Amino acid sequence: MSEGNSQEHQLGAYLRGRRAKLDPVALGFPAGRRRTPGLRREEVAQRANISPTWYTWLEQGRGGAPSAHVLDRVARALMLTEAEREHVFLLGLGRSPEVRYRKNDAVTPRLQRVLDALDPSPAVIRTALWDVVAWNRAATVMMIDYGSLAPEERNLLRFIFLDPRARAAQHDWESVARFALGSFRADAARAGAVAEVETLVEELCRLSPDFRRMWPEDHVQGPYGEAIKHIRHAVIGPLAFEYSVFSVDGRTDLNMVVYNPATPEDAERIKSLI
């Protein structure tokens, strides 16, 4: 059996397994007498608005590779989770599905405990639009007290371009701002949130001449890598941080940003504020 045929049969087996787990009555189908548990093939086809014959071929590993549109319909019909939907795309097309951005600002208590455990390293969780939705004590004393801001104002781009404290803290604000814009553009595209950034961009273009000047450059930037970030703190003076960004498990819309003190001495100075 070729690799392609093997994947087609794996996809068919996976769909059959998912179909067997659905309750027909809960989905509006009569209980009746059923030889096997779950939905019938024609019921899945009806929910997906595709041909019953085509769906049967899909489960039997026949008919060639399905389109992304068909797989999306089947995934919805079978009520697949995002992880299950991605698995179906990998089996059916050999690639992940296109990312669909879904605004969800909720952060679990577990994630907040992870942030708190990182003190004295300032750390925040940000969305694809760079809205800060969680932070630790070190971030409050080193960056800004996000809790004192209205939720719509807790945005890193707004802070960089509209708050004088951001300029005062940077040795080279222009380079930092340009780098941030490139990273922001890449994050939004990666999360499928390009359309959602328009309102924020329009606001910043109106309020910040620097943003209005830099945004049309269309610069896209990767991560810092091993670079050291230097800032000037209003109370304890110059500090150096190793900057890292981590994806949050199961959330394409969230990243955790950690500023790890570059030296033990810097860590102790931050502790003195906490």
251 in a structural domain: yes
Enumerate residues 6+ apart whose C-beta is below 8 A from 274.
Answer: 119, 120, 137, 138, 141
Q: Where among 32, 65, 93 does a domain terminate?
A: 93
pLDDT at 125: 94
Whether residue 74 is found in the same domain as residue 146: no
Cα-to-chain-centroid distance, residue 159: 21
Whether residue 230 is found in the same domain as residue 267: yes
Q: Where among 93, 123, 138 does a domain terminate?
A: 93
How many residues are there in the chain? 274
Tell the residue number behind the tokens 């409050």, with chain if given: 140
Whether residue 248 is found in the same domain as residue 114: yes
CA distances for 217 relative to 117, 185, 214, angstroms: 39, 11, 6
Full residue range of the structural domain in which residue 193 is found: 109-273
Enumerate residues 6+ apart whose C-beta is below 8 A from 17.
Answer: none
239 in a structural domain: yes
What is the token pair recorded at 160?
A: 């960089």
56 in a structural domain: yes
Whether residue 222 is found in the same domain as residue 135: yes
Where residue 52 sits, what CATH number does that domain have? Answer: 1.10.260.40
pLDDT at 226: 55
104 in a structural domain: no
Where residue 136 sits, what CATH number does that domain have? Answer: 3.30.450.180
Q: pTM of the predicted model, to two decimals?
A: 0.68
Whether residue 87 is found in the same domain as residue 116: no
Whether residue 144 is found in the same domain as residue 246: yes
Whether residue 141 is found in the same domain as residue 206: yes
Other Cβ atoms closer than 10 A to 153 = 15
101 in a structural domain: no
pLDDT at 250: 66
**Exposed / middle / buried, residue 92 (Cβ in 10 Å: 0-12, 13-18, 19+):** buried
Mean pLDDT by runs of 10 across the 274 residues of the chain is 67 92 91 86 94 92 83 92 85 78 74 93 92 93 89 92 91 90 85 81 94 86 68 88 84 86 90 86
Whether residue 206 is found in the same domain as residue 265: yes
175 in a structural domain: yes
Whether residue 154 is found in the same domain as residue 258: yes
264 in a structural domain: yes
Q: Where among 37, 64, 93 does a domain terminate?
A: 93
* Start-to-end CA span in the chain (Å): 63
Whether residue 253 is found in the same domain as residue 191: yes
220 in a structural domain: yes
pLDDT at 3: 46
d(CA 14, CA 112): 35
Residue type, 158: R
CA distances for 27 relative to 7, 39, 64, 79, 86, angstroms: 29, 9, 29, 11, 23
- If one counts the domains in the chain, the total is 2
Whether residue 46 is found in the same domain as residue 136: no
Whether residue 129 is found in the same domain as residue 246: yes
